[in-house]
Amino acid sequence: MVFQSYAIWPHMTVFDNVAYPLSVRHIAKAEIKDRVTKALQLVEMERYADRPAPALSGGQQQRVAIARALVFEPEVLLLDEPLSNLDARLRTQMGDEFRALQRRLKITTLYVTHDQEEAMALSDRVVVMQRGRILQIGAPETVYRRPASREVAAFFGTPNLVEAQVVSCKAADGGEWLLAVNGAAWQGTCRAAQEFRQGDAVLAVVRPEDLTLAGSDTSRAGKIAWAGRVVDVVFRGPRRTLTVEAGGVRFTVECPATRAASVGDNVRLLVDAESTWAVQP
């Protein structure tokens, strides 16, 4: 197990920390040295073997904790938010390194995190839980794009949840259903995981990055459209986050920084019907 606080013993060197799981199993000293060296090489910490644990940075301690968990070649690796104590840059770097390491060693890993992007980036399968109850299990992209409920949709990012009413429902490919829906001053089609009846209320899940600002090409074939006004803009470096009031709803829109509108601009929002997903309210 790798703990959130790393649980590195301060009175031991890096080598002794990693060797501990083998020492308590009474492994021969020669084998301990060999296996510890290999584990430290995996996390690129072999040159720090003799360094006292308190002299390590947060990222280095995290590597030592992973090496200690891997050194006796477990069948299952448990990680309890191991990156939460690192700064954003190092958290991304260590997450990528851990993912590569896990793929190379092919050890089944259970990774607990409250960071949605971390969960999607590191996992082959995501389990979303709330109050001890499993809400959905699936591949990261499936859970993100095809949430089973409003709670799952809202857990990942900041989706726009737009009220609508079902006009018609028919079976579609992939075991999904195609809904024709009407909303306040808009109408269109979206997909769903279950069959709905005419007149049923639904929430259309529209991801901020799927919304586009209509330019000269305002073709609406296969799209849903809303006319609105920009009420807020936040610059985030490579992108801008817009808040747009349209049809009585405040939409969050993520767009490239160079293609964003300004506060007060009247805009038209477009989204592909294939990118719009319906769930129960």
Tell me what percent of the residues of the chain surpass a pLDDT of 70.
98
Lowest mean pLDDT among 41-55, 87-101, 189-203, 231-245: 87-101
Residue 36's pLDDT is 96
Residue 126's pLDDT is 94
Residue 89's pLDDT is 81
Structural domain of 120: 14-124
Q: What is the pLDDT of residues 50-86, one digit of tens each?
A: 999 889 998 899 899 989 998 988 889 999 988 887 7
Do residues 186 and 274 share a domain? yes
Structural domains of the chain, count: 2
Do residues 200 and 257 share a domain? yes
Whether the full predicted model's pTM is greater than 0.85, yes or no, is no
Q: Are 210 and 176 in contact (CB under 8 A)?
A: no
The predicted model gives 147-165 an average pLDDT of: 94
Q: Are 267 and 202 in contact (CB under 8 A)?
A: no
Pair of tokens at residue 171? 């079976």
239-248's contacts with Cβ under 8 Å and 24+ in sequence apart are 241/208, 244/269, 247/162, 247/183, 247/184, 247/185, 247/186, 248/184, 248/185
In a domain, 197, yes or no: yes
Residue 216's pLDDT is 45
Greater confidence (30 vs 107) lies with 30
Rounded to whole angstroms, the Cα distance separating 92 from 94 reads 6
Q: What is the pLDDT of residues 7-36, one digit of tens each?
A: 999 999 999 999 999 999 999 999 999 999
In a domain, 152, yes or no: no
CATH number at residue 261: 2.40.50.140
CATH number at residue 98: 3.40.50.300
Do residues 167 and 240 share a domain? yes
Confidence of residue 221 (pLDDT cuts 50, 70, 90): low
In a domain, 5, yes or no: no
Rounded to whole angstroms, the Cα distance separating 95 from 100 reads 9
Residue 240's pLDDT is 95
In a domain, 137, yes or no: no
Last residue of a domain, one of 124, 146, 171: 124
